[in-house]
Amino acid sequence: MSPNRTGPDRTRTEAEVVRGFRRAVRRRRQWQWSLGVAAIAVVVLVYWVLTLTSDNPALLPPPGEILQGFVDGVRDGSLVDATLASLRRVAIGYGIGCAVAVVVGSLRGWFRFVGYILDPIVDALRPVPALAYIPLVILWFGIGESARILVIGVASFLSCIVSVTAGMRRVPPVYVDAARTMGARRTRIFLTIALPSSVPFIFAGLRVALGAAWGTLVAAELIAAQTGLGYLLQAGQEFFHTEIVIVALIVIGVIGFLMDALLQAVESWLLRWSPETRR
């Protein structure tokens, strides 16, 4: 950075230039991490100061008490059980919902007549929030595990399908024309041109759906659940354990963050060909 370190007139060798580039990348990563962690630390600090000025520790438990709540939850297994139960519901509901969304969304986006048939149905279902289906789901399926998973699945499906369809309708026509003049037919073009060129859109849908799935989880676990992070939230409120409510919120946030990071990693591997992928 400072010109004196190498001297302004000294010619740098290629090896030095490569080392310089690597150092620049490393430095950027270090800044990214340390600023991110510092920001979280500031939030915790501000919260801690707030708890000090408050006269009701039951409503604003200090950070130490929250940490204690977390440790207790892990020790007695209640937090671990709740987390695993919720993860399982999200994984199944989200997986099924998104799989159906990718299949249905790409078929209706790609094949015009499938679109004519499915567009009115899907577009009429979309404005209805997934939570609004809960009463009907309870009437039809009772209040079991499948009802909770179904609600999460519906939420994932509805938020994923829009961008899958949009991606299919934005495939550059020149790729399709090129494939056709090479002798490719409908099915091959769908699988080898339409799908890969929609991958960025499909992943945008998957990431939005992930948020929707977690968002619906708590509501889904209101359906008479005895386990899960949503249940923990509710129980914490009922028994006036504010620290448990906060712990559950943090765990939901951290898991959502990690799952999104995983999706991003898969996406940038799948999109390693794209000029827009950041490395």
Partner 1 sequence: MTAGRKETDVPSLDGAGTAAMAARSIQHYFPTGSGKRPLLVLDDISFDVPPGAFVSIVGASGCGKSTLLRIFAGLVRPTNGHAELGGRPITDADAHKGMVFQEDAVFPWLTVRQNVEYALRARRTDRSRRGGIAREWIDRVGLTGFEDAYPRQLSGGMRKRVDLARIYASDPEVLLMDEPFGALDAQTRLKLQEELLQLWEQRRKTVLFVTHDLDEAVYLSDLVVVLAARPGRVASIHPIDIPRPRTYETRGTERFRQLTVQLWHEIESLDRTSRSATDPQAPEVVA
Site for partner 1, rule CB under 8 A: 172, 174-175, 177-184, 188, 192-193, 196-197, 199, 272-275
Axis-axis angle for helices 14-53, 63-75 (nearest 10): 100
Cβ-in-10-Å burial (0-12, 13-18, 19+) of 49 comes to: exposed
Both structure tokens of 57: 């520790």
Q: Which is nearer to partner 1, 239 or 269 (CB)?
A: 269
Least distance CB 234 / partner 1 (angstroms):
46
Q: Which is nearer to partner 1, 5 or 112 (CB)?
A: 112
Provide, rounded to whole angstroms, the least separation between the CB of residue 196 and partner 1: 4
Q: Over the chain, what HEC string results?
A: CCCCCCCCCCCCCHHHHHHHHHHHHHHHHHHHHHHHHHHHHHHHHHHHHHHHHCCCCCCCCCHHHHHHHHHHHHHCCHHHHHHHHHHHHHHHHHHHHHHHHHHHHHHHHHCHHHHHHHHHHHHHHCCCCHHHHHHHHHHHHCCCHHHHHHHHHHHHHHHHHHHHHHHHCCCCHHHHHHHHHCCCCHHHHHHHHHHHHHHHHHHHHHHHHHHHHHHHHHHHCCCCCCCCHHHHHHHHHHCCCHHHHHHHHHHHHHHHHHHHHHHHHHHHHHCCCCCCCCC
Using the minimum distance from each CB to partner 1, give the nearer residue, 78 or 268: 268
- Closest to partner 1 by CB, 144 vs 172, is 172
Instruction: Find the shortest distance in angstroms from Cβ 193 to partner 1.
Output: 7
Q: How far is the CB of 150 from partner 1 (least distance, A)?
A: 35
Indicate the residue among 32 and 274 with the shorter CB distance to partner 1: 274
Q: Residue 236 CB, nearest distance to partner 1 (Å)?
A: 47
Cα–Cα distances in angstroms (integers) from residue 162 to residues 43, 122, 125, 159, 260, in the given order: 35, 9, 12, 6, 19
Give me the least distance between CB of 138 and partner 1, in Å please.
44
> Which CB sits closer to partner 1, 62 or 196?
196
Q: How far is the CB of 170 from partner 1 (least distance, A)?
A: 14
**Nearest distance, CB of residue 58 and partner 1, angstroms:** 56
Q: Cα(17)–Cα(49) distance, rounded to whole angstroms?
A: 47
In the complex with partner 1, the residue whose CB is nearer, 106 or 159, is: 106
In the complex with partner 1, the residue whose CB is nearer, 4 or 181, is 181
